[in-house]
């Protein structure tokens, strides 16, 4: 039951003799004893069968049958089974999630199709082939704005995802950018590199975004664009977001991937990979990395991103998701999410629990007397009721995975 052969004492002795040493410890004689790691207190080794039994025993302690109304950037979405089957094919699933995309026409085509889909959804001229997540996409967009405008101040909405705030603050500090958070956007923004707003915002509110006299960055839930108008229609110059809702499991919060899309005139400031389509010497369709803005390809001081700023495998899953659902299925999923969220809000209102949002997609804030007791009671009945914002407010989300009976159970237990 052992898949791996280890060196026995005879083989070890032969190898040590060949290099003129007496023991394995002699290999590390140059390392002072005081800085060496102490022996690990590990149990005896197990066979593969025994390990599987142990892991299953440990895994059985996890409770996975909750009805989830959690949101805040990570959502329980329907994922077609075909995504996992295709994404795990050896042609895609490499040891280092397509590091050298240039060697694979299939990987390059997926990147190209992903960019096309994101561009269509956002209404932008061009998109990159992913960055790490929505937070880094937001921060990178601010850095883009700085390079384009030559200005070092940025306005950012106070109601963006708090995790994105932390990433933005870190990026801004390192790049000497002054971030000003706002509740109500001032009329004069000309002295700023950009204005960044999130819609729907972290609290689920769909914003009415007005034109600004600087670069407008819109952070959005890409799935909301199944039924909401694209950011290009209200003046966005750069659009960013996370693609977790496009066929990516929740997985305790990761992995994620983000996207950045923009107007064509800004494409040379766009970080990450950009795949393009052309014809080869024989006139056949071919794909290649088109705009090389990574430090791997150009001078470091002119690079807009490093060699690893991409999530090709997660982007593949998103591309498969959109392909399998199609335009009609994608809109249906968005409609069902909105329908179930509004239905839950209405039923809670009937029990005296107020929803604070005026306009929302699939996420909203409710006011309760005691957040901890409210959520504790729901959890005791098999429901993850939302994210605690403070003592009296909870962020609740619903997706197409929420059934009418799930809603009834939620309402009955509050």
Cα separations in angstroms, 174 against 171, 295, 381: 5, 18, 46
Lowest-pLDDT range of 5-14, 204-213, 236-245: 5-14
**Predicted confidence (pLDDT) at residue 332 exceeds the cutoff of 90:** yes
* Position 53 in a domain: no
* Position 4 in a domain: no
Q: pLDDT digits over 302-323, tens only?
A: 777 765 567 888 999 999 999 9
Q: pLDDT digits over 30-89, tens only?
A: 999 888 888 888 888 889 999 999 999 999 998 888 999 999 999 999 999 999 999 988
Rounded to an integer, the average pLDDT of 381-397 is: 97
pTM of the predicted protein model: 0.86
Same domain, 96 and 109: yes
Alpha-carbon torsion angle 65, 69, 73, 77, nearest 10? 60
**By CB neighbour count within 10 A (0-12 exposed, 13-18 middle, 19+ buried), where does 113 fall?**
buried
* Position 297 in a domain: yes
CA–CA dist 206, 220 (Å, integer): 10
pLDDT of residue 1: 42
CA–CA dist 258, 260 (Å, integer): 7
Same domain, 302 and 361: no
Q: Which domain holds residue 74?
A: 67-78+326-412
Same domain, 153 and 246: yes
Same domain, 162 and 271: yes
Q: Mean pLDDT score of the chain, rounded to an integer?
A: 91
**By CB neighbour count within 10 A (0-12 exposed, 13-18 middle, 19+ buried), where does 369 fall?**
exposed
CA–CA dist 221, 217 (Å, integer): 13
pLDDT of residue 103: 65
CA–CA dist 353, 367 (Å, integer): 6
For residues 181 and 294, which has the higher predicted lDDT (pLDDT)? Answer: 181
Q: What is the CATH number of the domain that holds 143?
A: 3.40.640.10
Examine the fold and report which residue of 287, 303, 319 is the final residue of a domain before the chain moves on: 319
Same domain, 271 and 374: no
Q: What is the CATH number of the domain that holds 362?
A: 3.90.1150.10
Lowest-pLDDT range of 32-46, 110-124, 132-146: 32-46
Same domain, 389 and 305: no
Same domain, 73 and 92: no
Same domain, 85 and 73: no
Both structure tokens of 1: 């039951």
CA–CA dist 387, 36 (Å, integer): 44
Give Cα 97 to chain centroid, integer Å.
16
* pLDDT above 70 as % of the chain: 94
- Confidence class of residue 254 from pLDDT cuts 50, 70 and 90? confident
pLDDT of residue 307: 56
Among all chains, which residue has been given the structure tokens 């005296």? Answer: 352
**Predicted confidence (pLDDT) at residue 102 exceeds the cutoff of 60:** yes
Same domain, 260 and 406: no
User: What is the per-residue burial (b if ≥16 Cβ within 10 Å, else e) of 330-352?
Assistant: beebbebbbebbbbbbebbeeee
Q: What is the DSSP string of 188-237?
A: --TTSSEEEEESS-TT-BPP-PPP-SSEEEEEEEGGGGGTSPPGGGGT-S
Same domain, 162 and 289: yes
The answer to whether 261 and 124 have CB atoms below 8 angstroms apart is yes
Same domain, 276 and 333: no
Q: If you ran DSSP here, which 8-state letter would residue 317 be given? A: H
Q: How many CB atoms lie within 10 A of CB 185?
A: 14
Q: If you ran DSSP here, which 8-state letter would residue 47 be given? A: -
pLDDT of residue 296: 64
Rounded to an integer, the average pLDDT of 17-23 is: 93
pLDDT of residue 63: 83
Tally of domains within the chain: 2
């Amino acid at each position: 039951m052992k898949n791996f052969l280890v060196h026995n004492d005879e083989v070890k002795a032969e190898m040590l003799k060949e290099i003129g040493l007496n023991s394995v410890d002699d290999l590390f004689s140059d390392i002072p004893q005081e800085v060496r790691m102490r022996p690990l207190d590990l149990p005896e080794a197990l066979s593969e069968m025994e390990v599987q039994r142990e892991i299953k025993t440990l895994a059985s302690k996890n409770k996975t049958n909750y009805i989830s109304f959690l949101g805040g950037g990570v959502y329980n979405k329907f994922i077609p089974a075909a995504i996992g089957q295709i994404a795990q094919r050896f042609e895609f699933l490499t040891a280092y999630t397509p590091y050298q995309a240039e060697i694979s026409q299939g990987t390059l085509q997926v990147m190209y199709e992903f960019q096309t889909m994101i561009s269509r959804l956002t209404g932008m001229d061009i998109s990159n082939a992913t960055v790490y997540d929505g937070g880094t996409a937001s921060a990178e967009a601010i850095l883009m704005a700085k390079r384009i405008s030559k200005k070092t101040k940025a306005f950012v909405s106070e109601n963006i995802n708090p995790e994105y705030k932390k990433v933005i603050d870190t990026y801004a500090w390192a790049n000497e950018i002054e971030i000003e958070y706002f509740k109500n956007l001032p009329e004069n923004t000309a002295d700023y590199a950009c204005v960044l707003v999130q819609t729907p915002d972290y609290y689920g509110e769909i914003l009415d975004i007005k034109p600004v006299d600087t670069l407008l960055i819109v952070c959005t839930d890409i799935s909301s664009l199944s039924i909401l108008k694209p950011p290009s229609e209200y003046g966005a110059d750069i659009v960013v977001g996370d693609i977790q809702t496009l066929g990516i499991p929740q997985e305790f919060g990761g992995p994620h991937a983000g996207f950045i899309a923009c107007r064509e005139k800004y494409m040379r400031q766009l970080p990450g990979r950009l795949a393009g389509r052309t014809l080869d010497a024989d006139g056949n369709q071919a794909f290649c990395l088109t705009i090389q803005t990574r430090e791997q390809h150009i001078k470091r001081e002119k690079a807009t991103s490093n060699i690893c700023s991409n999530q090709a495998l997660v982007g593949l899953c998103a591309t498969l998701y959109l392909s399998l659902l199609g335009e009609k299925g994608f809109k249906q999923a968005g409609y069902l999410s909105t329908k179930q969220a509004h239905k839950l809000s209405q039923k809670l209102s009937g029990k005296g629990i107020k929803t604070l949002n005026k306009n929302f997609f699939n996420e909203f804030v409710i006011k309760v007397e005691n957040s901890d007791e409210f959520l504790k009671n729901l959890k005791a009945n098999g429901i993850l009721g939302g994210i605690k914002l403070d003592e009296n407010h909870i962020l609740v989300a619903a997706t197409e995975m929420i059934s009418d009976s799930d809603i009834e159970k939620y309402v009955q237990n509050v």
